[in-house]
Amino acid sequence: MKTLKGPAIFLAQFMADDKPFNGIESMAQWAANLGFIGVQVPIGNPAFIDVALAAQSQTYADELKGRVAQAGVTITELSTHLEGQLVAVHPAYDELFDAFAAPAVRGNPGARTAWAVEQVKLALKASARLGTTEQVCFSGSLLWPYFYPWPQRPAGLIEEGFKELARRWRPILDVAEDCGVNICFEIHPGEDLHDGVTFERFLDAVGGHRRCHILYDPSHFVLQQLDYLGFIDAYHERIRMFHVKDAEFNPDARSGVYGGYQDWVDRPGRFRSLDDGAIDFGAVFSKFAQYDYAGWAVLEWECCLKHQEDGAREGAAFIRDHIIRVTDRAFDDFASAGIDAARNRRLLGLQ
């Protein structure tokens, strides 16, 4: 059995222009002071990583790891959420997602997609040089405007959408194979991969690619009213990353899963800081211990109420206290009578 690693923290929601949130060394030290031993790093900010240089220079990759290690933490994984989002964008979202791209490709969907694909590939090469084995992505979405079947969807629309999504991702997954890195898609509303069924559709479309995996974040399942513990049972063999994020669902007579176009604080489904929501993390961590999950437990702070620095400080202790150091023996070993093949046959009434 394996004990998962942590606590670690995803830096994206904390990065800012003021210290200590404006550089990787200062943020590594900030994280260490809170009790984290790992940081998950987005690739889009050059104050944290030059992903193109990390992809080609082992010297730079080693130096970057060393700068973080001086604070007593390690880089757990790279994040290509935003870049992955841009691999597939429905035209309805062109303008909204354009800000995720480099200025030179904004307003040009074809150039933006090519840029995003290259960024994800560079990150895979950088991950290999950094010695990390997983990388998180969004899948992007061609089909999200059609998630509710009204008006009636034309026959073949969903199949064509997943066929095209697979066409775009298969070459990236092949680069992942060359790099020895798994792409872990965060199962997330707004993405074509937003639940177990859609992940299965995509996995089938890419031929069961061995580098196609899952980032598990139970908060997104609470907001969809999906069984977040059963999901681990069903997909544990493909779960390679874990965002520890809490949520609650409080439906009433006025609003439910769809949220009524309300702001986060007024929606029935809301992200919360750890231990302020409804997720049974004792059961979640127990499932991961049961299935020998050996990856990182990474805090992703998103909360509509609590200050982010309080959420981070409390989150480090929360994760540390929930990590189960797995046993190296069975609890009833003291009563073992050892192995005796002849006795076993006698007990079965065999001669």
Residue 132 burial class via C-beta count within 10 angstroms: exposed 0-12, middle 13-18, buried 19 and up: buried
Distance, in Å, from the CA atom of 49 to the CA atom of 348, rounded to the nearest integer, reads 64
Residue 331: predicted pLDDT: 76
Residue 53: predicted pLDDT: 98
Average pLDDT, the chain: 97
Reported as a pLDDT band with limits 50, 70 and 90, residue 261 is very high
Residue 338: predicted pLDDT: 81
Of the candidate ranges 94-108, 115-129, 294-308, 336-350, the one whose mean pLDDT is the lowest: 336-350
Residue 298: predicted pLDDT: 98
Residue 48: predicted pLDDT: 98
Average pLDDT over residues 220-247: 98
**221: nearest Cα among 254, 250, 247:** 247
User: Is the Cβ–Cβ distance between 6 and 320 less than 8 Å?
Assistant: yes
Residue 47: predicted pLDDT: 96
Choice between 27 and 339, residue whose per-residue pLDDT is larger: 27
Average pLDDT over residues 105-117: 98
**74 bridge partner residues:** 38
Residue 217: predicted pLDDT: 98
Spell out a b/e string for 268-289, using b for 16 or more CB atoms within 10 Å of the CB, else e.
bbbbbbbebbebebeebbebbb
Distance, in Å, from the CA atom of 158 to the CA atom of 160, rounded to the nearest integer, reads 5
Residue 301: predicted pLDDT: 97
What's the pTM?
0.95
Residue 303: predicted pLDDT: 97
Residue 25: predicted pLDDT: 97
**How much of the chain, in percent, has pLDDT values that exceed 90?**
93
Average pLDDT over residues 144-172: 97
Amino acid at 179: C
Residue 339: predicted pLDDT: 87
Whether the per-residue pLDDT at 341 is higher than 80: the answer is yes
For 271-296, the pLDDT digits (tens) are 999 999 999 999 999 999 999 999 99
Residue 330: predicted pLDDT: 79
Residue 91: predicted pLDDT: 97
Q: Give the fold, CATH level 3, of 5-347.
A: TIM Barrel (3.20.20)
Whether the per-residue pLDDT at 159 is higher than 80: the answer is yes
For 304-336, the pLDDT digits (tens) are 999 999 999 999 999 999 999 998 887 777 767
Residue 329: predicted pLDDT: 80
Distance, in Å, from the CA atom of 122 to the CA atom of 63, rounded to the nearest integer, reads 18
For 36-89, the pLDDT digits (tens) are 999 999 999 999 999 999 999 999 999 999 999 999 999 999 999 999 999 999
Helices (DSSP H) in the chain: which residue ranges? Answer: 24-34, 51-56, 58-69, 81-85, 94-97, 109-130, 157-179, 196-205, 218-224, 228-235, 281-290, 308-322, 341-347
Residue 1: predicted pLDDT: 82
In sequence order, which residues have a C-beta less than 8 Å from that of residue 238 and are 6 or more positions away?
A: 199, 203, 212, 213, 214
In sequence order, which residues have a C-beta less than 8 Å from that of residue 288 and are 6 or more positions away?
A: 4, 232, 242, 297, 324
For 208-233, the pLDDT digits (tens) are 999 999 999 999 999 999 999 999 99
Residue 327: predicted pLDDT: 86
**322: nearest Cα among 246, 268, 256:** 246
| Parallel/antiparallel/unpaired status of strands 269-272 and 296-299 | unpaired
Backbone angles phi, psi at 212, to 5 degrees: -95, 110
Residue 304: predicted pLDDT: 95
